[in-house]
Amino acid sequence: MKPDKGFEEDLEYFIEDWHWNKKSHEFACRMAHFMFGFFEYLKSQKLSESTQRKHESNCQLIGKFVADYGNYNEFTPEILTGEPDYVNEFKRKVWNSHYMVQSYKTTWRKLAKYAKSQIKEKV
């Protein structure tokens, strides 16, 4: 079944800064699909709408940093399982307030926990 046009538009908007050629576009799409699954998981946790949006916004930044600095050829959930990464890039390019950095790290940790759970399900 082909995803609907609205989904494809949302996906392209979400990843618009994550790719620069066909191969990086494929990587970006795979990572975004994974993150969209994470967003559905977060919705099931009944978080407030503002918290949900904050995690989605942080994931967009995480995706950008992974795409720009990660030097990966293929997306796998393992990429996202470590401790929060690209924190210095976040501080330098986005915001250097303690609250915003902690929010970014919190999202990364939740995403890492989700990634680990998805890896275990496939085993």
Q: pLDDT digit string (tens) for 10-58?
A: 899 999 999 999 999 999 999 999 999 999 999 999 999 999 999 999 9
pTM of the model: 0.90
Whole-number pLDDT of residue 91: 96
Whole-number pLDDT of residue 39: 96
Whole-number pLDDT of residue 121: 79
For residues 53 and 84, the answer to whether their CB atoms sit within 8 Å is no
Domain segments of the chain as ranges: 5-122
Phi-psi category of 3—alpha, beta or left, where left has phi over 0 and alpha has psi -120 to 50? Answer: beta
The one-letter amino acid code at 15 reads I
Using DSSP's 3-state secondary structure scheme, residue 72 falls into coil
17 DSSP 8-state letter: T
